[in-house]
Each structure stands twice: as C-alpha cells, then as structure tokens.
Amino acid sequence: MAIEIFMPALSPTMEEGTLATWLVKEGDSVTSGDVIAEIETDKATMEVESIDDGVMAKILVEAGTDNVPVGQIIAILAEEGEDIADIEAPSNDTPAPSPQPATKPEDTAAPDPAPAPTTSAAKEPATSTPTDSRVKASPLAKRIAANEGLDIASIAGTGPHGRIVKRDVEAALENGTAPAPSTATDGPQASAPAAQQAPSASVYPPHENIPFREERLSNMRKTIAKRLTESKTTVPHFYLTVECEIDKLLAQRKELNDKLADSGVKISVNDFIIRASALALKKVPAANVQFAGDKMYWYERADISMAVAIEGGLVTPVIRGADQMGLADIASTAKDLALKARDGKLIPEDYAGGTFSISNLGMFGIKEFSAVINPPQGAILAIGAGEQRPVVKDGALAVATVMSCTMSCDHRAVDGAVGAEFLKAFKGFIQDPITMLL
C-alpha cells in the first residue's frame, strides 16, 4: 500500500514551511533514514528523513514552494512490489490526517457567501464558488490569486498533475490575465488577509524614478514580522534603564582569559552579562515569569535567550540553566550556538523556550536602545556599548567605563518595582563580578 509523506512539524510553533529542495526524484529507491528533502523553517533549513523503505512514486509539492502547511501531503512512496504507475495522487480536496489544518483560512474565506449583503451583485457569482474549491492549486497560489483578484479557475497549471502553483499565478499576472469579477461578497472577505500583511510594492509602488528591487519575505522575516507586531500591539511594554560601571569586570575578564589562554575558551563581556542576568533572576524570581491569560508561569531555572544576528534576520538560541553554569561553560555554549545559528544548523531544541532574553548591540557602538519583548517571555534586557564617561565619585569628577542597560517589561507579568529590583541585583553583579561566585 502506498505511503503518504506529509509536511512535518519541525518545531513546536511551526505552522507552515518552504519545501526548499528534493534530494530524490520520482522513481528513486529510498531506504528508511535516507534524507529525502530539505525544509526551510523560520529558524533554519532542516533535513527530512524517510521513515520507510520504498520507491518515490509521486512528488506532489515541487521544490521551492512556499507556505506549505504542516500536515499537507507532499509525496507518495510506493512499497516494495507496487507499480508506481498504478498510484494516483490524492485529491487536493481531501484534507491530510493531521491535527494541523491543511489549508489556511484565506483559502476558504473568499468562497463563503454567507456574510454578503443581499444584493443581486452578491448573489450572481455565488455559483462559481464550488468550481474554485475543486481547482487543483497550492494554498499559496490560491492566496495570491485571491489577493490580486484573479479567477484561479482560469489559470493553467504546470505543477504535478496540472496543479496550479505560485509561478502559474505570477505568470498570469505578468501576462495581464483579467481579474475575477469583484462582488460584494468577495470584497470585505478577500481584503481582510491583505490588510494584515505589510504593504508591498504593488500596493505602494516606489517612485518611478527611484531604482529598487522587490524581494519576497523569507519564512524567518515573516515570523519576525508576525511575532514582534503581536508583541508591540498586545504586550504593554514599559522600560527601565540603569548605568553600570564595568571597569572591574573588564579587568577580571582579562585576568580570566589569561588563565584560559591554553584552553581555547575566551570569555566575552556578553558572557558576564548572561551570567549576571541568570543570577539576578534567581535572586528576584518575580522577574522570571510569563503571563498566560488567566495564570502566570513562575520559572525556577534561568534559561537565557540571546539574540544572534544572522543573514536575513535574527534568532534567539537558548542557554539553558545559565544560573547553574560557570563563565567558561557559558562562553563555550554561547559560541557554539552562535556558530550554529549563523550556519543555519540550529535544531528546535536549540531555540525553543527561554524564560528571559538579552539583546546586545554594544559591539556596534550603540549607546542605548529599547528592545521588543520576545513573546511569551516577560522581559528582555537591551545592552549598549561600554564607553568612558564622566562620573562623580565621592564628590569629585572622574572617568569610568559605563554601560547602559535597558529592561523592557511586560506590565501584565512584571511590575515596575520588580523590574527595578532585578536591575539592582544585575547591576550589583556587573559592577562587582566576584560576587557571582558567592
């Protein structure tokens, strides 16, 4: 019996992904454990292994297809003795047996005539609804056609078994295919998904005299846009800033690195910051929390997410149990995670979770900034550059290396006094690093 291969969920939050590459073709023999495809998620490109032996009978989703929902059938594997010519591709109307929805809400919103005003213009096109639902087309192709006002049934498909894919809709747009008749029913429903997307060049075209290029958003950039828009619109942020003198820290860092010269480990200022943040969370557990609707999560371990800039965006790998690690262990772990992030080799276990985030732009010379909270976490600490500034000590003017640190707090979970208490503990560890050993 033929074996259906579904789009896998490669992380707890993954809803869709890009089928980047097929590493096998139709007719190839496949053994359990063989890597058959590469899937691009919002964090990294990951390999997909076959869990059965057989022959690749049908590839239903072509390489390079974006926004493939988790649970959608992407290929069919023939078992030993089966004739691949006898295997038929499943109907696009049949949902995949997965807890995740196989189609996106946008695909079903437009054909629904129920909310339409009772006018003759609204009733007339209702007969075309069943036709659209039977058209073999990818969810992405349907969504693009709906947003651009194209009749999906009028487009010729070039995908497997005549399936309409993204490139067919784009070709129709370039060739000037007439858009589907607009109706009172289609208007408000079709515009709802488009209103949630960032303005594109087709909506706000650049000035004709300014050279530009258009680039489709990667899965990573889409996720960043979605999560941070959600954060700034639904999470009540407030900000607290302290200035930390780090001359003692810099001196002790140099001394420690001299002692570690033969080990290959090099401790950075950021490693001290991670350690100090973790210890401050242990000292002020009310800051190590997350808001969850009608309840709060209080975490007994400090898992620190550190923002790492990579090509196309940023990721936040997690240093788990940072409060229980020494500086050398933190340095090694942080370095390994940063390398994996920049090479696109993070696995879900590397970035899932985290109870508190740190974003450090000091190495870019940024003096001070406010970071956006990484939901569902309750706070994030933004670190500026350490620089020499005039300070007053014992009534006299002096010079010290000062670093500005701004904490963004979710006011639903962290009150102002709790945030201030955390920063007081953090500043104490940073300004007198030897206390991190106590």
List the catalytic residues: 411
The b-or-e profile of 382-396 (16+ CB within 10 A means b, else e) is bbbbbeeeeeeeeee
CA 44 – CA 351 distance, rounded (Å): 11
Residue from 343, 351, 338 nearest 377 by CA: 351
Q: Are 400 and 216 in contact (CB under 8 A)?
A: no
Distances (CA, A) of 205 to 144, 196, 199, 202, 250: 18, 18, 10, 6, 50
Beta strand 65-69 pairing with 237-245: unpaired
CA 242 – CA 223 distance, rounded (Å): 31
Residue from 174, 180, 173, 121 nearest 153 by CA: 180
- Per the listing, tokens 């201030």 go with 420
Counting every residue written for the chain, the total comes to 438
DSSP character string of 112-161? --TTS-S-HHHHGGGGGHHHHHHS-B-HHHHHHHHHHTB-GGGSPP-SGG
CA 140 – CA 165 distance, rounded (Å): 7
CA 252 – CA 246 distance, rounded (Å): 10
Q: Are 422 and 281 in contact (CB under 8 A)?
A: yes
Q: Are 347 and 39 in contact (CB under 8 A)?
A: no
CA 307 – CA 48 distance, rounded (Å): 27
CA 153 – CA 133 distance, rounded (Å): 9
Residue from 273, 237, 246 nearest 426 by CA: 273
| Cβ neighbours, 10 Å, residue 153 | 14
CA 368 – CA 404 distance, rounded (Å): 6
DSSP 94: S
